[in-house]
Structure formats: C-alpha cells, structure tokens
C-alpha cells in the first residue's frame, strides 16, 4: 500500500527553460510523494509523461560539469580494472562522459534525448534513441548479444516502471556480468533535508532497502554498495544475476544504517515532511527580510533542484533578481515556473549583489572557491541544506 507524506505543490517541468512567449502555455502538475509500505520505495504519486521531460530539448548537459566528467572517468577506469568487461551498455548516456572511456566497437548507448543521442552517435558509438524497456533489451540481445557491464548514472531513478527496467537488465546481462548504477541516496536526502531531490524526472528516490526488494523480485541481487558524495550524496549499486554473486559487507552495512534511521518506517517520512514545511517558511522569511532591508539577491546554478525549491516556496523575481548558470542552453531563458531570468555568469558582476542563493548547493565548495572575490567584498551565500544558513 502506498501512503502519501509530502505535497510539494504545483510544479513545472524542471528542465524546461522558457522563452517569454512560452510562459502562458507552461505545463504544471501536482508533485506529491508516497511511501510504499511493501517495497519501502519512495516515489512520486503521479508520474509525468516521460516524453514531456526527455526529448530533443533536454538541457542537462553532463560534459559541461568538470567535476562530473572527472567522476565518470574515474568510475570507468575503476570498473575496467575490477570487472574487465568486453561489452558495455550505458542506459541514459547523455552526451557521453562515461561511455567515451570505452571502446566504440564494443559499447552501446541508450539515450532517449535526441540532442544527446546525436552526440554519442557522431562520436561513433552505436546509440539507440529510445527509452530503456524490456522490448528494447530483446532487440539489442538479438543484434548485439549479451553485455558484460550495464551501467547507468542518474537515470534509473528516472524510470517509472522499475520492474520492466530491471527485467530488461536481467535479459541482457551475461551470466557473470555486472549491473552498476548510481542515483541520489534517500538516506542522505532524509538526513540533509534536501527535499529538492524530488522533481518530475526523479520518479523515485532510492534507498538500498527498496532497491534490494525490487531487484530481488526481478532475479537480480545487490552484492556491493559505494556511498558517493556526488549530487548531494548518492549510492552506487553493484548487482548481478541472483545466483552468480554473494552479498558483501557494504550491502549489510547500508541496510543496517538505513534501518537504524527508519527508512522502512512511515513515521520517518511524516517527520521529514514537517521539516520540509519549516524549511520553506524559514527560507521565504529570510529572503523577504533581506529584501525589506534593501539587499540584492542572486542565485547560482539553475538546477532541477532549484525548480522544486522556488516553485514550492513561491519564490520569484521579486525576491531573486536572476540565476547564473554555466550551461549556454539555459541562458537568456526564464527558469521553469518561477520565471526568474537565467543569465551567463560572465554577464553579471557578483559584487553588485549582497547574497547568492546556492541553487547548486551540491557544488558548494566548487562555487565558494570560484567566487572567493564575492566573499572578500562582503557577499554571503544562502543555502537551505541541511538548514537555512548564510555563510561566507
């Protein structure tokens, strides 16, 4: 049985940045969050049609983030050393920062966003511009045979029908092969109060506990877990066919830690929902007080996460003048729902502002280092994770 615990209000498509003339037709949906008592999975109550989010207009370009490019290079090297895969498939390959570390002749990309699928195809990788389904896995099996490594980063949590996705993996994975995927961690979200991990694309936020249950019923077994710092705290899950590996200590430790925190208990989510409401009240109060004192506020990073925060809290350009973002495709457009202008970082002088809200709080250290001049001139950052704070 699924029980609702959080209502994040009316939300737009988190990565649909708008031109002025698109504002009147903007699509909104109700973002409610549920806990499944049986599997312990946390998901959106009503999913958004995938085609509305993942299409040729998708704006999140992984290769523009140097820390993430380095992360994927290191991950690829580690997986090559550990598992020596001959044939590799990536689900949700974006513009290729992971797969580009593997041989073109023995790798396959699956990417439904045409703009990014074109990038890896142009690089010479076999690319299927499709969503990941059992139907697709059967087609690939016929044409290319079994895969030794199936990898996915920040994509499995986007897939609404997990049973179908995991069956597809089981179909295509060599008997001794590995399925490795990483996504934001539910435990870190609960600990840090980072409710902005929830938006249209994130159909689910995963605990190891829930994944263990759902993978198991689809014939797969988790044998190892890495806790990662990327994207505000993620888990990298290693899984295999149910009879071809043994469960390692890291799995038991993660399950124990999650149990102790109460991820399997609905009450934990009721407490989290209260914290989210308090965070909203406090953030709005803080920004309004600063504005009343005549202060100027900017935001850094037009993230999917900040779409959730701004729309849930009702923050618009009366409180935050503009958002800087390094992604050219987001610049000179309006942020989803809040319609705050998104600008190139180079086009603004940060010293014209008193406060900078961290839409990309997951890159707090990178941004604080880059913007040390702002702090020297007396500027302060504002973040809502793990609580509303100002710091310099």
Q: Interface residues for ligand DWN in 34-63 (CB under 6 A)?
A: 60
Among 96, 97, 233, 301, binds ligand DWN (CB under 6 A): 301
| Pick 249 or 346: Cβ nearer ligand DWN | 346
Residue-wise DSSP of 281-292: HHHHHHHHHHHH
Among 101, 327, 380, 383, binds ligand DWN (CB under 6 A): 327
| Pick 149 or 367: Cβ nearer ligand DWN | 367
| Pick 65 or 254: Cβ nearer ligand DWN | 65
Q: Is 360 in the site for ligand DWN (CB under 6 A)?
A: yes
**Contact (CB, 8 A) for 215 and 221:** yes
CA distances from 260 to 94, 136, 253, 297 (A): 36, 39, 11, 40
For residue 118, give every residue at least 6 positions away whose Cβ sits within 8 Å of its Cβ, in sequence order, or none.
none
Q: Is 111 in the site for ligand DWN (CB under 6 A)?
A: no
| Pick 123 or 368: Cβ nearer ligand DWN | 368
Nearest to residue 272, comparing CAs of 215, 344, 220, 198? 198
CA distances from 140 to 1, 94, 127, 137, 181 (A): 35, 19, 11, 5, 19
90: number of Cβ within 10 Å: 27
Q: Which stretch binds ligand DWN (CB under 6 A): 73-81, 165-173, 296-304, 312-320?
A: 296-304
**Contact (CB, 8 A) for 145 and 87:** yes
Minimum separation from the CB atom of position 243 to ligand DWN (A): 32
Minimum separation from the CB atom of position 108 to ligand DWN (A): 21
Q: Is 308 in the site for ligand DWN (CB under 6 A)?
A: no
Q: Is 379 in the site for ligand DWN (CB under 6 A)?
A: no
| Pick 85 or 301: Cβ nearer ligand DWN | 301
CA distance 339 to 335: 5
Say how far residue 306 (Cα) sits from the centre of its chain: 12
Applying CB under 6 A, which residues contact ligand DWN?
60, 65, 154, 201, 231, 300-305, 324-327, 360, 362-363, 366-367, 370
């Amino acid at each position: 049985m699924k029980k609702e615990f959080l209502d994040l209000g009316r939300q737009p498509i988190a990565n649909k940045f708008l031109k002025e003339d698109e504002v009147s037709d903007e699509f909104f949906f109700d973002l409610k969050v549920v806990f499944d008592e049986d599997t312990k999975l946390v998901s959106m109550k009503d999913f958004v049609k995938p085609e509305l989010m993942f299409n040729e207009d998708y704006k999140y370009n992984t290769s523009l983030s140097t820390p993430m490019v380095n992360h994927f290079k290191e991950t690829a090297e580690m997986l090559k050393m550990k598992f020596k895969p001959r044939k590799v498939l990536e689900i949700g390959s974006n513009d290729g920062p992971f797969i580009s570390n593997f041989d073109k002749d023995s790798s396959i990309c699956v990417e439904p966003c045409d703009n990014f699928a074109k990038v890896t195809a142009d690089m010479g990788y076999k690319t299927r511009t499709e969503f990941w389904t059992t139907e697709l896995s059967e087609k690939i099996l016929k044409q290319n045979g079994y895969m030794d490594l199936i990898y996915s980063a920040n994509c499995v949590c986007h897939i609404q029908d997990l049973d179908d996705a995991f069956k597809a993996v089981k179909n295509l994975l060599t008997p001794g092969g590995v399925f490795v995927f990483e996504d934001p961690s539910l435990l870190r979200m609960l600990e840090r109060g980072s409710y902005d991990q929830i938006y249209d694309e994130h159909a689910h936020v995963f605990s190891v506990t829930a994944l263990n249950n759902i993978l198991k019923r689809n014939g797969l077994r988790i044998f190892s877990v890495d806790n990662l710092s990327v994207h505000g705290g993620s888990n990298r899950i290693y899984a295999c066919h149910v009879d071809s590996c043994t469960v390692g200590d890291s799995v038991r430790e993660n399950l124990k830690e999650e149990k102790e925190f109460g991820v399997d208990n609905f009450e934990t989510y009721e407490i989290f929902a209260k914290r989210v409401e308090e965070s909203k009240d406090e953030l709005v109060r803080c920004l309004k007080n600063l504005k009343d004192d005549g202060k100027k506020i900017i935001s850094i990073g037009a993230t999917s996460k900040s779409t959730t925060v701004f729309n849930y809290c009702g923050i618009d350009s009366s409180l935050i003048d503009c958002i800087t973002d390094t992604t050219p495709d987001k610049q000179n457009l309006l942020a989803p729902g809040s319609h705050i202008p998104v600008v190139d970082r180079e086009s603004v002088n940060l010293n014209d502002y008193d406060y900078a809200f961290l839409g990309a709080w997951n890159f707090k250290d990178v941004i604080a280092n880059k913007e040390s001049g702002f702090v020297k001139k007396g500027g302060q950052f504002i973040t809502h994770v793990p609580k509303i704070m100002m710091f310099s």
